[in-house]
Amino acid sequence: MKDKRRILVIGPSWVGDMVMAQSLFMTLQAEHPGVQIDVLAPQWSLPILQRMPQVHLGIAMPLGHGQLDLRTRWRLGRQLAAHGYDQAIVLPGSLKSALVPWFAGIPVRTGFTGEMRYGLINDRRQLDKQTLPMTVQRFVALGLAQHPQQPPDIPPPQLVANADNALRVQARLGLNANRPAVAFMPGAEYGPAKQWPAHHFAQLAKDLTGRGHQIWILGSAKDRAVGDAIAQTADAPHVHNLCGQTELADVVDLLSLCTAAVSNDSGLMHVAAALGKPLVALYGSSDPKHTPPLSPQAHVLYLGLSCSPCFERQCPLGHTRCLHDIHPDQVLQALT
């Protein structure tokens, strides 16, 4: 006889969405005390899940984003059938994301109607975007027994960093442990219409290092060029471009050592918010009402121009004023 409820969550494919999914996991624990939550998610996201106490097991999805491969999904589903899950909650809206729980024979498969998923999802919810304008609200709603008639309460994500790893990485990178660090996250996977200009980051770096801080520029190898541009333009001591020198887990743990962070609307913005860091979040083509940082420590800067939000990867008007017109002194004021 089973002694606890077991739920499999099919996780999202983006860093920020995975952080926001923790609000769902916290809701499930409140709704079902003692629940075991496993998450099927991309390999890269497992270190994030390891920093969520609510998650029992992170299971790597062996397929990349966009791959169908029915045979692999069927095999994975049959393997997961042995876990005896009571319910699957499918966060992505695609048909293929609902296949593994179906192949696993999980009796209750919860998700929004999505693209032609009739039968695959047997606990179908209709998404009311007016009632649930925020991504995190939609995640949490799927963890409730009844579809909410008003926006549900959202427990904010709370990542638990690995303190020992943070100190190891800090030492490996030769970072000063005695000078307060401010993290810059200048990347945005979606595109340049979400990126605050490098020369604005550089001016802010000059201002902050002049006040006794050091700057840690964090991101993936894809962000190395913009990190170099910031460091070279700032031409100031104590500005460290760490992009591409760390794994995602290391970035999470390094952020835990920072006194504050400045970020575009990106996955790392949500990580900083979930670590409870004072944060200035810069929004351009996206909408802070849809994916805000979920922390009382976050300060959103968003101009709300008549052309915003356009949700485009590149500015269709060619000027990106929504970000260029947010000046470094505004960010400095928000930090202090």
Instruction: Dump pLDDT digits (tens) for 96-148.
Output: 999 999 999 999 999 998 777 889 999 999 999 999 999 999 999 999 998 88
The closest of 34, 43, 37 to 8, measured between CA atoms, is 37
Residue 155 has pLDDT above 90, yes or no: yes
Per-residue pLDDT tens digits for 194-239: 999 999 999 999 999 999 999 999 999 999 999 999 999 999 889 9
Sheet with 87-90, strands from edge to edge, namely 57-61, 36-42, 6-10, 87-90, 108-112, 123-125
pLDDT at 336: 84
pLDDT at 2: 56
The closest of 180, 189, 217, 198 to 335, measured between CA atoms, is 180
Cis preceding-peptide flag for 309 (omega within 30 of 0): yes
pLDDT at 4: 86
Residue 3 has pLDDT above 50, yes or no: yes
The dihedral built from the CA positions of residue 316, 319, 325 and 326, taken in this order, carries a sign that is positive
H or E element, residue 111: strand 108-112
How many CA atoms, within 13 angstroms, populate the side-chain half-sphere of residue 159? 34
Amino acid in the structure at residue 76: L
Going from the C-alpha of 221 to that of each of 153, 214, 244, 294, the distances in angstroms are 37, 21, 4, 26
pLDDT at 64: 81
Per-residue pLDDT tens digits for 29-62: 999 999 999 999 999 999 999 999 999 999 999 9
Q: What is the mean pLDDT of residues 250-271?
A: 97
pLDDT at 53: 98
The closest of 317, 226, 294 to 22, measured between CA atoms, is 294
pLDDT at 1: 44
pTM beyond 0.85, yes or no: yes
The closest of 20, 67, 14 to 41, measured between CA atoms, is 14
